[in-house]
Amino acid sequence: MRHSTLRQLEVFETIARLGSFTRAAEELFLTQPTVSMQIKKLTDAVGLTLFEQVGKKIYLTDAGRALHQTCRDIFEHLARFEMVAADMKGLKAGKLRLAVVTTAKYFAPRLLGMFCQQYPGVEVSLKVANRECLLERLADNQDDLYILGQPPEEVDAVAQAFLENPLVVLAPINHPLANKKRISLKRIAEEPFLSREPGSGTRIATERIFSEQGLKLKIRMELGSNEAIKQTIIGGLGISVLSHHTLGLDASMGQLAVLDVEGFPIHRHWYYAYPSGKQLSIVAQAFLGYLQQAPRFLVEGSSQYANISH
């Protein structure tokens, strides 16, 4: 193994992550024969098969899986050292890998934009996925920081609230309930309901409030995106519960009404989180410092949080 190069490990890690020699070659700007040659040399050095091919798919062998984890540890340490070195040079440079739940995409890009203006040397990657997928990534320590709608309970993590995340009941603007006051949860449960997909934090919070009252929603349709739900509400197929953030950035607000329902808005928060014991990179620490001021930045940028009226 001693004669293996970092380059070989990088090629191996990329194939293992992407599950494909071709895509790894593209990501690394290498030719496919070069990629195959690097893997052959690495395999010879290890003395065990690293990949096996079944049909067109590539799978890691047990040795491959162990080496993949080792590579990730090595690259994480190296990245941390690079950032320490950069910081020593007086630059806040390096990489920030942020993963956020689907609904946070309504504000996370703006937050990142403002952060990158402050630290132009920082390279950012943003992964957007639903809560369930994010918790898997967190348990697997795949990113630097996570933003989600409820502190992770399933994984041992550090979590801190930094921004409000009210959930509201949305209906088409011409819905008979649109002008009613103090609508009961029971009445809402009678309406056809458009639900987010299983694994969504919005869905979990919504189902909880109804089941606490012994009520069950009449789910008419399940959709995997907030945008699709908003369009389906406008199309008249049902009502839904979504984060107020989903109303922030486009013109659909004029076609949607926020209903005045008992127990709503559900007062939730956005949390940042990372696995307990993780040593945060300098850039991630700078981003956390910046997040403490996030509500001020976002409210200055938009007045959406001031007017959750019905």
Cα–Cα distance, 109 to 114 (Å, whole number): 9
Which of 271, 301, 293, 283 shows the shortest CA–CA distance to 138?
Answer: 271
- In angstroms, give the least distance from the CB of 270 to ligand PGA: 8
Cα–Cα distance, 298 to 209 (Å, whole number): 28
Q: Which residues pair with 187 in a beta bridge?
A: none
In the block, residue with structure tokens 């348990």: 139
103 binds ligand PGA (CB under 6 A): yes
Cβ burial, residue 273 (10 Å; 0-12/13-18/19+): buried
281 binds ligand PGA (CB under 6 A): no
Cα–Cα distance, 258 to 233 (Å, whole number): 12
- In angstroms, give the least distance from the CB of 176 to ligand PGA: 27
* 94 versus 201: smaller Cβ distance to ligand PGA: 201
Q: Which segment (96-104, 114-122, 154-162, 248-256) binds ligand PGA by CB under 6 A?
A: 96-104
Q: Where are the alpha helices (DSSP H) in the chain?
A: 6-18, 21-28, 32-46, 62-88, 108-118, 131-139, 185-189, 201-212, 226-234, 282-291, 294-301
The site string for ligand PGA over 45-84 (x = CB under 6 A, - otherwise) reads ----------------------------------------
* 4 versus 304: smaller Cβ distance to ligand PGA: 304
- In angstroms, give the least distance from the CB of 295 to ligand PGA: 16
Which of 150, 148, 161, 168 shows the shortest CA–CA distance to 247?
Answer: 168
The site string for ligand PGA over 166-205 (x = CB under 6 A, - otherwise) reads ------------------------------x---xxx---
The site string for ligand PGA over 243-272 (x = CB under 6 A, - otherwise) reads x------------------------x----
Q: Among residues 149, 152, 238, 265, which is the contact residue for ligand PGA, using CB under 6 A?
A: 149
Q: What share of the chain is helix, strand, coil (3-state, %, to 5)?
A: 45, 25, 30
206 binds ligand PGA (CB under 6 A): no
101 binds ligand PGA (CB under 6 A): yes
150 binds ligand PGA (CB under 6 A): yes
Residue 215's identity, in one-letter code, is L
Instruction: Name the site residues for ligand PGA (rule: CB under 6 A).
Output: 101-103, 130-131, 148-150, 165, 196, 200-202, 243, 268
